[in-house]
Every structure is written in structure tokens, then in C-alpha cells.
């Protein structure tokens, strides 16, 4: 097969990969700004952990907060366990497609959180810091880079949204402090991509729900924008590759 024919067959994949890479690069450049302006405004408005921004109070918008929390929960494995049970009860003949759903989820989560996240080592926007780590961050980024917050024995400060990596010894080594790619975005996009392959008519609803899960993570200040873009792209690509293989499609009886 010539290079020209190969590119002709693969150009949609290459085009989407290029768009995703450009979006990820743009997100990296505005991570700090979005966290300090968009996430800060939302968190203060709904009263969700305003201490992250050095604030001690905020307005209350319980309905908005419940919507964000609901979207966040839709990025958990137990939500898709309920989805799987519902499918098995209402459509027992689709049990093989449920297996494919969990194959996509498992592969994407293992790759994203087990391989990519420790490799990159990027810290959460509110990663807890010790006194010594906070002093190093302050000396390098200024006094507003950390906020006073007791998080546990030996952890008295937190990052205020500066994109840090543990390679610089600015943050903790614990896995829970790592952020890129977002685990919720990985799981949501992998699961919804798998569901879209099994239920073609609802594929746009699945995509919108996945975007909602990713947006909730940024809105609530738990992740940077680049985290959810990286997680969403990785989860979708992993699920799309699995559901496009001939053996999997024949096993699940998916449409051509």
C-alpha cells in the first residue's frame, strides 16, 4: 500500500488527532487562567471548597451544585455498573456488548491512570503541600501560589492552581495528588464511546453526557482544562480502537 493511499484511508483519524493535540496545547497555555477565573467564580458561587482560592465564604447555589455533583457521579464506575445492569435486564441479548463496554473502560483506565498519569506526574490544582514544599513554591512562583490549609499530618498548605509537576519536587508523590489525565474524563469518554458503538441512535447524547462529566471536573476546580481534554481524548481513542477491531465487532454483533 502506497503512502498516498494510506493517508487517504486514515486522514479522518489524523485530522481528529491533530485537532485534539491542538486543543490540548491550547489548554496547557490557559490552565491557570481558567482555574483562577472560571473555576473560582463557579466554586464561590456554589460555595464548593472556596478555601482553594484563599477564600473562606461564598454564595450558595444548591441546584447548580447538585447538577455538577450529578455529572461528576456519572464519571464513576458504579454508575456504569447500574447502566450495565439496566441493559442486561431490559435487553438480555446485549450481554456481549456489556462485556465490550467494560473491556473499553478497563483498558482506558489502566492506560490512563496506570501508565500515563504517573509518567507525566502533573499535580492537581489544589494538591496538598508540606511547609517545606510550600516555601519552595512561594520562592519560585510568588506568595499567591499557595494557600494555608491544614490537610493532614505534615501538610499545611495547598496549591492554588499553578500547573506543577512532581519532578520539580514541588508536590507530593502520592498517586491521589496526580491529575493528568482526568480519571473521570477517561472513564466517561471510554464508556460513552463504547455505548455509542452499541447504540448508534443515542451516540450524540452519550457524547454530550461525556462532555458534561468532563466540564464538571473543571467547573468544580478538581482538574485543569488540559486534564479533561487529555483524559477525554485518551478514553475515546482507546474505546474507538477496541470497538473498531473486527474480532470485537463480530463478538458483540455490532453494526458495520
User: Tell me: the pLDDT tens digits for 206-254?
Assistant: 899 999 999 999 998 889 999 999 999 999 999 988 888 888 788 877 7
Taking alpha carbons only, the member of 148, 158, 180 closest to residue 167 is: 180
* Residues 128 and 8 occupy one common structural domain: no
* Residues 167 and 198 occupy one common structural domain: no
User: All 3 cell numbers of residue 241?
Assistant: 480502537
Give the structural domain span for 150.
124-175
* Residues 68 and 106 occupy one common structural domain: yes
Strand order across the 128-129 sheet: 128-129, 155-159, 146-152
Residue-wise pLDDT for 118-158, tens only, equals 888 888 888 888 888 888 888 888 887 888 776 666 667 88
Residue-wise pLDDT for 71-94, tens only, equals 999 989 999 999 899 988 988 888
Question: Contact, 191 vs 212, CB < 8 A?
Answer: no
Domain end call among 114, 148, 175:
175
Query: Which pLDDT band holds residue 10 (cuts at 50, 70, 90)?
Result: low
Is the pLDDT at 8 greater than 70? The verdict is no
**How confident is the prediction for the chain on average, in pLDDT?**
83
Which string of DSSP letters, residue by residue, matches 156-196? EEEE-S---BGGGTSS--SGGGB-SS-HHHHHHHHHHHHHH
Strands 128-129 and 146-152: unpaired
- Percentage, residues of the chain above pLDDT 70: 86
- The H or E element spanning position 155 is strand 155-159
* Residues 74 and 192 occupy one common structural domain: yes
Question: Contact, 162 vs 195, CB < 8 A?
Answer: no
* Residues 145 and 182 occupy one common structural domain: no
Is the pLDDT at 6 greater than 50? The verdict is no
CA dist., res. 181 & res. 118, Å (int): 10
Instruction: State in Å, rounded, how far the first CA of the chain is from the last one.
Output: 23
* Residues 194 and 83 occupy one common structural domain: yes
* Residues 22 and 36 occupy one common structural domain: yes
Is the pLDDT at 101 greater than 60? The verdict is yes
Residue-wise pLDDT for 11-33, tens only, equals 667 778 888 889 999 998 898 89
* Residues 150 and 139 occupy one common structural domain: yes
Domain end call among 155, 175, 195:
175
CA dist., res. 149 & res. 180, Å (int): 23
* Residues 11 and 99 occupy one common structural domain: yes
Query: Which pLDDT band holds residue 3 (cuts at 50, 70, 90)?
Result: very low
Amino acid at each position: 500500500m502506497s503512502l498516498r493511499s494510506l493517508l487517504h484511508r486514515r486522514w479522518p483519524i489524523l485530522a481528529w488527532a491533530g485537532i485534539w493535540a491542538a486543543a490540548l496545547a491550547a489548554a496547557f497555555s490557559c490552565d491557570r487562567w481558567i482555574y483562577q477565573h472560571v473555576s473560582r467564580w463557579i466554586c464561590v458561587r456554589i460555595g464548593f471548597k472556596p478555601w482553594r482560592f484563599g477564600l473562606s465564604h461564598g454564595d450558595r447555589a444548591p441546584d447548580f451544585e447538585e447538577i455538577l455533583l450529578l455529572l461528576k457521579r456519572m464519571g464513576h464506575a458504579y454508575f456504569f455498573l447500574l447502566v450495565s445492569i439496566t441493559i442486561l435486564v431490559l435487553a438480555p441479548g446485549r450481554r456481549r456488548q456489556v462485556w465490550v463496554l467494560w473491556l473499553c473502560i478497563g483498558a482506558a483506565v489502566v492506560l490512563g491512570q496506570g501508565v500515563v498519569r504517573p509518567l507525566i506526574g502533573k499535580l492537581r490544582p489544589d494538591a496538598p503541600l508540606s511547609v517545606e514544599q510550600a516555601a519552595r513554591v512561594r520562592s519560585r512562583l510568588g506568595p499567591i501560589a499557595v494557600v494555608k490549609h491544614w490537610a493532614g499530618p505534615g501538610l499545611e498548605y495547598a496549591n492554588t492552581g499553578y500547573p506543577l509537576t512532581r519532578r520539580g519536587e514541588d508536590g507530593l508523590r502520592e498517586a491521589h495528588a496526580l491529575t493528568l489525565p482526568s480519571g473521570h474524563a477517561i472513564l466517561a469518554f471510554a464508556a460513552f464511546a463504547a455505548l455509542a458503538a452499541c447504540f448508534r441512535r443515542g451516540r450524540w447524547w452519550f457524547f454530550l453526557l461525556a462532555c458534561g462529566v468532563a466540564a464538571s471536573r473543571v467547573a468544580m476546580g478538581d482538574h485543569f482544562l488540559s486534564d479533561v481534554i487529555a483524559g477525554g481524548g485518551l478514553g475515546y481513542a482507546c474505546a474507538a480502537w477496541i470497538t473498531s477491531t473486527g474480532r470485537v465487532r463480530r463478538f458483540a454483533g455490532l453494526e458495520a
